[in-house]
Amino acid sequence: MTLTDLVPTLQLAIGPTILVSGIGLVMLSMTNRFSRLVDRSRQLARELRNAPESSHDVVLAELRILARRARIVRTAITLASSSVLLAALLIISLFLGALLELTIAPMIVAIFSLCLLCLVTGLVLFIYDINLSLRALWLEMPARELDK
């Protein structure tokens, strides 16, 4: 295989490479959000130990929401990571297919589709977490403040 034969494959591989970079930035946001969830959970757990009995139910409700959100964000991060791995597999497949002159178009389509499916599902979960975070906020705010 000559360099001129390889150039079209390199051009094809640029798309998944850019995808990896973009997903990396999304994962940075997700991991930052996950870190904030863990920090807030630790803070609330400390508050629970020192809180009066009357506020235990509210703090426990917030902790339950945070635990649920942490599971959601963890799943979103796992799906985004899977998407990156599939994009890397896609790039490797493109090069091996070109180098070995294999007919692997169906496999390429399947890998790319799975890559995007993982990404989309992870993003939907991430959006769901953002909406779920409002529940914890509403628990913290007295009802009279919400009516303003």
Binned at pLDDT 50, 70 and 90, residue 141 comes out as confident
- Mean pLDDT, the chain, as a whole number? 88
How much of the chain, in percent, has pLDDT values that exceed 90? 56
List the one residue out of 111, 35, 42 whose CA is nearest residue 77. 35
From the number of C-beta atoms within 10 Å of its C-beta (0-12, 13-18, 19+), residue 37 rates as buried
Higher pLDDT, 5 or 57: 57
| For residue 146, pLDDT beyond 60 | no
In terms of average pLDDT, the best of 7-16, 41-50, 81-90 is 81-90
* Angle at the Cα of 140 from the Cα atoms of 136 and 143, rounded to 5 degrees: 110
CA of 38: how far to CAs of 41, 42, 51, in Å?
5, 6, 19
pLDDT at 36: 95
What does the pLDDT look like over 48-105, one tens digit per residue? 888 888 888 888 888 999 999 999 999 999 999 999 999 999 999 988 888 888 899 9
